[in-house]
Amino acid sequence: MLDLKFIRENPELVADGMRKKGEGIELREFLEIDEKRRMIIQEVEELKRKRNEVSEEVARLKKKREDATSIIEEMREVSKKIKDLDGELSKYEGELKGLLLSIPNMPHESVPVGKDDTENVEVRRWETPRNFDFEAKAHWDIGTDLDILDFERASKISGARFAIYKGLGARLERALITFMLDLHTKEHGYFEIYPPYLVNSDSMTGTGQLPKFGEDMFKCTGTDYYLIPTAEVPVTNLRRDEILNEDELPTYYVAYTACFRSEAGAYGKDTRGLIRQHQFDKVELVKYVKPETSYDELEKLVANAEEVLKRLKIPYRVTLMCTGDLGFAAAKKYDLEVWMPSYGRYVEISSCSNFEDFQARRANIRYRPTGGGKLQHVHTLNGSGLAAGRCFAALLENYQNEDGSVTIPEVLIPYMGVDRIG
RNA sequence: GGAGAGAUGGCCGAGUAGGUUGAAGGCGAUCGCCUGCUAAGCGAUUAUAGGGGCUAAACCUCUAUCGAGGGUUCGAAUCCCUCUCUCUCCGCCA
């Protein structure tokens, strides 16, 4: 959510930012409603001031046991008028709030302008993809042949876009998650959170999934609960409506959760394998920081996520999203992409974003500067560190051997107890 | 699921036979004083949001806010209704 005053005073800037993100929202209606709202506020507050004065006068008269019926009579009218105006006002405020919640965040000045993912910018690459001197298999074939993945039975018990991890496959998924959590908590200074997987609509609004992207999520019928699409939602909302002390910043959280996405509108995409599932595991990094440090913190966050792939020794690259591919809430976003032999290209495995105060304003997360001063919104950031399912897939493909077995990366052997599968 | 109790400022905690209570008191914090250092002490300050004034900040002023939403009333933290959450007891249960 942007600051109302900022939009009022810089409509051109905001329109420009929305254009760069590819959003065609018209600000004129917004500004008109804001104008009407302020006029009513002036009128109704004047009446309330009068009412307050007269009420005190009534109290004085009654104390002296004098008659007050005439001014009470008069105030009855005023009160009715106030009620009407208040009703009108809340109508406009509702509309304004609705529009405010649907205006995207502004892109940071360091973000390249572009229309879609074809204009993202590659920032760096790590290691070169391996050359196979045999026919490399896709992870769904490797996993099925080793009997550590079972897609057929998953579709029987649930449906399309689900997977069952079996035996050493289940253990590998768990090993990846534990390895990532250990790395981030023990070496990168993150505090571990294990949050609920079901959250209410206020939380979904706080991080920006609602009101615009309800279709992408699973909602529990007859309740206000949504299955989380990412741990970003419960963890960023952890401090919703709270005031932090400055010395609490920066705060780093890491959380493992399952994630649930309806993948509406993605029917033809990535239909095989683990890449696009309704349920997947992810370790998520979330930061609350002071505004002046948030861009440094973003670089550190990306480096923390990259460290996972470096230790697993899986080739990857980092890309900077252009304005058109930034998404609704982010001001700046990097993606980590792993090399996926079956795709013959790099595939997204992590998304690291700085939301500046966009989420903090929606979720009302502020901090009190030490030594006084006005409350300020914190800046929030998050990034996958990493998506475990896609990591699993990349690992199988990049570590496969000619005989169909899969070598376990060195850092995972302590967690696996074996050095290969198959 | 049944029965009861509760929700007040950054925190703790007063205040309900409706009328200067934005809200006592305490803690914490900030500034100043005192002090060989520390500790203690003394004084002052200390909510948020939204309007309006001001080029703007500072500042001034108004309005709102005592879990949320509605109602009664000239006037509600205080009365009524609905909802949410927390706690206690019972039942059930992983």
Q: How confident is the prediction along chain A (422 residues), in pLDDT tens digits per residue?
A: 999 999 999 999 999 999 999 987 778 999 999 999 999 999 999 999 999 989 888 888 887 878 888 888 888 889 999 999 999 999 999 899 989 999 999 999 999 999 999 999 999 999 999 999 999 999 999 999 999 999 999 999 999 999 999 999 999 999 999 999 999 999 999 999 999 999 999 999 999 999 889 899 999 888 889 999 999 999 999 988 888 888 888 999 999 999 999 988 788 889 899 999 999 999 999 999 999 899 999 999 999 999 999 999 999 999 999 999 999 999 999 999 999 999 999 999 999 999 999 999 999 898 887 766 778 899 999 999 999 999 999 999 999 999 999 999 999 999 999 999 99
CA of A368 to C1' of B31 (A): 17
Total Cβ atoms within 10 A of residue A22: 14
Which protein residues have Cβ within 7 A of any strand B atom? A 4-5, 38, 41-42, 45-46, 48-49, 51-56, 58-59, 62, 72, 75-76, 78-79, 83, 90, 243, 368, 370-372, 374-375
Give the pLDDT score at A222.
81
Torsion from C-alpha of A34, A242, A376, A45, nearest 10 degrees = 30
CA of A371 to C1' of B26 (A): 22
User: Would you call A166 helix, strand, or coil by DSSP?
Assistant: coil
Q: Which amino acid is at A393?
A: A
Pairwise CA distance, residues A195 & A21, whole Å: 32
Q: Which amino acid is at A99?
A: L
**Closest nucleotide C1' to the C-alpha of A68:** B74
Q: What are phi and psi of A113, to 5 degrees?
A: -80, 130
Contact A283, A174 (CB under 8 A): no
CA of A242 to C1' of B24 (A): 26
**Closest nucleotide C1' to the C-alpha of A5:** B50
- Indicate the DSSP class of residue A370: T
**Closest nucleotide C1' to the C-alpha of A48:** B63
Torsion from C-alpha of A192, A194, A198, A200, nearest 10 degrees = -50
ipTM: 0.87
CA of A54 to C1' of B23 (A): 21
Q: Residue A212: which of A324, A351, A105 has the closest Cα?
A: A105
Give the pLDDT score at A108.
96
Q: Which amino acid is at A156?
A: K
CA nearest to nucleotide B63 C1': residue: A45
Q: What are the beta bridge partners of residue A335?
A: A319, A351
pTM, full prediction: 0.94
CA of A199 to C1' of B41 (A): 51
Q: Work out whether the CA dihedral A285, A286, A289, A291 comes out positive or negative.
A: positive
User: Would you call A266 helix, strand, or coil by DSSP?
Assistant: coil
Contact A284, A235 (CB under 8 A): yes
Q: Which amino acid is at A235?
A: V
Encoding tokens for residue A358? 């966009």
Contact A308, A385 (CB under 8 A): yes
Encoding tokens for residue A327? 């998404």
**Closest nucleotide C1' to the C-alpha of A58:** B74
Chain B nucleotides with an atom closer than 7 Å to a protein C-beta: 10, 19-20, 29-31, 47-52, 58, 62-64, 70-71, 73-75
Contacts of residue A177, defined as CB under 8 A and 6 or more positions apart, other chains included, come to: A256, A281, A283, A388
Q: Residue with structure tokens 């391996």? A: A130
Give the pLDDT score at A372.
64
Give the pLDDT score at A246.
82
**Closest nucleotide C1' to the C-alpha of A56:** B19
Q: Residue A422: which of A172, A145, A150 has the closest Cα?
A: A145
Contacts of residue A18, defined as CB under 8 A and 6 or more positions apart, other chains included, come to: A24, A25, A103, A104
Pairwise CA distance, residues A173 & A412, whole Å: 11
Contacts of residue A156, defined as CB under 8 A and 6 or more positions apart, other chains included, come to: none
CA of A291 to C1' of B21 (A): 37
Residues of A tagged active-site:
261, 276, 348, 351, 390
